[in-house]
Amino acid sequence: MFIIDAHLDLAMNALEWNRDYRQPVAAIRASEQGMTDKVDRENNVVSLPELRRGGIGLVVATQIGRVNTNEHHLPGAGWRSPAQAWAMTQAQRAWYETMEAGGEMVQVNSRATLDAHVTRWLDNAEPAERKPVGYILSLEGADSLPDVSYVERAYRYGLRAIGPAHYSTGRYAPGTGLTGPLTPAGRDLLREMDRLNMILDVTHLTDEGFDEALNTYKGPVWASHHNCRALVPHQRQLSDGQIVQLIERGAVMGGCLDAWMLKPGLTQGKSNPADFGITLNTLVDHIDHICQLAGNARHCMIGSDLDGAFGREQTPTDLDTIADLPRLQGLLLKRGYSDADITGIFYANALHFLRNALP
């Protein structure tokens, strides 16, 4: 089964975690034995060989560089200036380009490159281990853009999606855990994105920011890695009303495998998923909730976030690496989903959206 994963932080892990993503997960874990600087040391679940082994041939891969000038006490608070954050995103871009030069990855930035890449991955005559992993470049949190003029500069090197917010305060929009609308710069950002017909990622927006963005943005909208507030009551999740609005806009929503977003009561980075019985089937609960609201399975995709600064210590207990994502197929079949529904969730829904959204 071919899979599109709509959210992975590959370059962040390669550079800030110092992981050689060309290596198997087992080799990366072995290289991190005894390290304690990151909570997920020895527990990573993502690498390029694991993506290929799981049939995950296309990913939405991020650049990320947050600015938190007055909040240095926050874990991973980010950079003290937009210039520093921009420089980090450019280092991340250089990593992706180096992976391309080595035949490990290939950028997808248009309908033509999308169709060619998916056609190659759906052709089983070529072994998956020989195929490059495709990536669509997305900016998670817009803080690193020194000003709105940088949007077009980034578009020229292939950036196709932007989520204005991330965690905490933001230069363009407040993020997870906060309240309030977009900033004036954030409104300018949306106008520039609209002009370029980029994908707006509503992930991490506040409720006020979500409403404002959907009311003003005319281009394509998705939620790359989001679960359901009805099942886990937290501002980070999508409310039923927000889900319905996204369905009406023709959006797709990516199911996220961060354990604290799967069942209520977990403390991010501290709770043990095993104590809460969290498995891949728990994600199916969230997928099913969206499908019931929609009346069909056309608005769900996978946005795993499986290397989003956590690993096995904060994932479903029956997932060892990202190559285990195909196990969702059997779980969805048991819930009564058809083969066509599952193909949609695994890749066809995202593919349909991207074919309409990319130039």
Mean pLDDT of 82-111: 97
pLDDT at residue 68 greater than cutoff 90: no
Q: 94-107 pLDDT, tens per residue?
A: 999 999 999 999 99
Q: What percent of the chain has pLDDT over 70?
A: 97
Whether residue 302 is predicted with pLDDT greater than 50 in this model: the reply is: yes
Which residue range forms the structural domain that includes residue 77? Answer: 3-357
pLDDT per position as a tens digit, 124-170: 999 999 999 999 999 999 999 999 999 999 999 999 999 999 988 89
Stretch 105-134: mean pLDDT: 97
CATH of the domain at 253: 3.20.20.140
Q: Against a cut of 0.95, is the pTM above it?
A: yes
Counted domains in the chain: 1
pLDDT of 269 strictly over 90? no
SS (H, E, C) the chain: CCEEEEEECHHHHHHHCCCCCCCCHHHHHHHCCCCCCCCCCCCCCCCHHHHHHCCEEEEEEEECCCECCCCCCCCCCCECCHHHHHHHHHHHHHHHHHHHHCCCEEECCCHHHHHHHHHHHHCCCCCHHHCCEEEEEEEECCCCCCCCHHHHHHHHCCEEEEECCCECCCCCCCCECCCCCCCHHHHHHHHHHHHHCCEEECCCCCHHHHHHHHHHCCCCEEECCCCECCCCCCCCCECHHHHHHHHHCCCCEEECCCHHHCCCCCCCCCCCHHHHCCCHHHHHHHHHHHHHHHCCCCCEEECCCCCCCCCHHHCCCCCCCHHHHHHHHHHHHHCCCCHHHHHHHHHHHHHHHHHHHCC
